[in-house]
A = this chain, B = another copy of it.
Amino acid sequence: MKKNSQKNICVILSWPSHPENIGLVARAMNNTGYRYLRLVTDQPLSKTAYQTAVHSKQVLKNAQIFSQLSEAVRDVDVVFAAVARHRKNFPSLRFEDAVEKIVGFSPETRMGLVFGNERTGLVSEELRHSNFRFSIPQVQEQPSYNLAAAVLLTLFQVFLREAPKENKPEPKPVSRRKQKECIDLIANKLEKKDFIHQGNKEHVTDMLYDLFGRLAMTEKDQKLLLAIFSK
């Protein structure tokens, strides 16, 4: 899967308080192929952030620091803000609809995904800098998702929706003739051992055809089965 088909997305963390989350966000971005991180903060990036950014230090090194959210979104075209709960003046999209909307914008659209402080989330003044809000589904209201988890789930869902479906066809089974030969050999062996006898032959043979049929046996499977039952 390639990066170059990916949306022009930057992740914006507004006033994050736990440096380990910043590092985990960098790793989540690296896993899902997003590179642009912006931080609204008055703190320099700490050693702790670099420690949790396993194999993803470059994302942190390239991170841009802003003193206000309004500055961080200034050159972005459309902003999505993650909220954990309903906000009176700012209706939010369903998660799936937000993902569809993100995926739907033209490739040149610069998108910002904004996530708020771990404890407070995004406050109204921050929500004013967003075009759309969305919430990540969860079973119950508390606890909300951890900051890095929220970023990961959002990016992963966009990535899954964007990535070309991996083509992973079922491996080719051997021909029905070979499958039949193999099942017949098994039945034959079982008949010699009196597992199959006149009283159950029809029924057990049906069951064997079903059981081994469901394997849709590949050449490798067939060889293994033949070797087992030839013993």
A149 at the interface (CB under 8 A from B): yes
A104 at the interface (CB under 8 A from B): no
CA of A144 to CA of B28, assembled, Å: 10
Query: A138: which B residues are within 8 A, CB to CB?
Result: 31-32
Contacts known (A137-B163, A138-B32, A152-B153); A143 close to B55, Cβ less than 8 A: yes
A197 at the interface (CB under 8 A from B): no
Query: A2: which B residues are within 8 A, CB to CB?
Result: 139
Contacts known (A27-B146, A54-B143); A137 close to B160, Cβ less than 8 A: yes
Other-chain residue from B24, B56, B152, B166 in contact with A137 (beta carbon distance below 8 A): B166
Interface size of A by CB at 8 A reads: 36
In residues 93-110 of chain A, which contact B (Cβ within 8 Å)? 94, 96-97
Other-chain residue from B96, B97, B152, B159 in contact with A152 (beta carbon distance below 8 A): B152
A30 at the interface (CB under 8 A from B): yes
A142 at the interface (CB under 8 A from B): yes
Output the least CB separation between A44 and chain B (Å).
24
Query: A96: which B residues are within 8 A, CB to CB?
Result: 160
Chain A contact surface mostly = loop
Query: A146: which B residues are within 8 A, CB to CB?
Result: 24, 27, 54
Other-chain residue from B33, B91, B152, B166 in contact with A139 (beta carbon distance below 8 A): B33
A145 at the interface (CB under 8 A from B): yes
Output the least CB separation between A128 and chain B (Å).
15
Binary CB contact string for chain A from 159 to 173 against chain B (1 if under 8 A, 0 otherwise): 110010010100100
With both beta carbons as reference points, the residue of chain B lying nearest to A20 in the complex is identified as: B20
Output the least CB separation between A24 and chain B (Å).
7
CA of A33 to CA of B142, assembled, Å: 11
A90 at the interface (CB under 8 A from B): no
Contacts known (A56-B143, A143-B56, A166-B94); A1 close to B137, Cβ less than 8 A: yes
Residues of A within 8 A of B (CB): 1-3, 24, 27-28, 30-33, 54-56, 91, 94, 96-97, 137-140, 142-146, 149, 152-153, 156, 159-160, 163, 166, 168, 171
